[in-house]
Amino acid sequence: MLTQILYALSDEVRLSIVRQLDEDGPATCGVFEVDRPKSSLSHHFRVLRESGIVATTRQGTALLNALRRKDLDARFPNLLDAVLERPASTARKRMRT
């Protein structure tokens, strides 16, 4: 649901997580530069997961979080790019750095 996505993105902590995921690619919860205890972070990741913005998969003992860019772009074209203040993506492929 759109409002659920907008709500998830309307929090500075969660938005900063999404920005970092967009810039650096999938990452485990621990690496995020957010000044919060892990139980708080876990809550924010849950909100991101339940709104469909992030997908989480287990990677050994850690959990890897990835931005669901394709799903989001398919359902709400340009929304993620607009929120991330990037030019609208024209289905262009990202290159490895």
Partner DNA sequence: TCGATTGTTCGAATATTTTCGTACAATAGT
Partner DNA sequence: ACTATTGTACGAAAATATTCGAACAATCGA
Residues in 32-71 that interact with DNA by CB under 7 A? 36-47, 56, 58, 60-63
Q: Pick the piece of the chain touching DNA (CB under 7 A) from 6-14, 17-25, 75-83, 87-95.
A: 6-14
- For the chain, the maximum distance between any two Cα atoms, rounded to a whole number of angstroms, is 38
Cβ-contact 57, 67 below 8 angstroms: no
Q: 85: left (phi > 0), else alpha (psi -120 to 50), else beta?
A: left
Among 7, 41, 91, 94, binds its own copies (CB under 8 A): 7
Query: CB of residue 29 vs its own copies: minimum separation in angstroms?
Result: 21
Query: CB of residue 56 vs its own copies: minimum separation in angstroms?
Result: 22
Tokens of 10: 């309307």
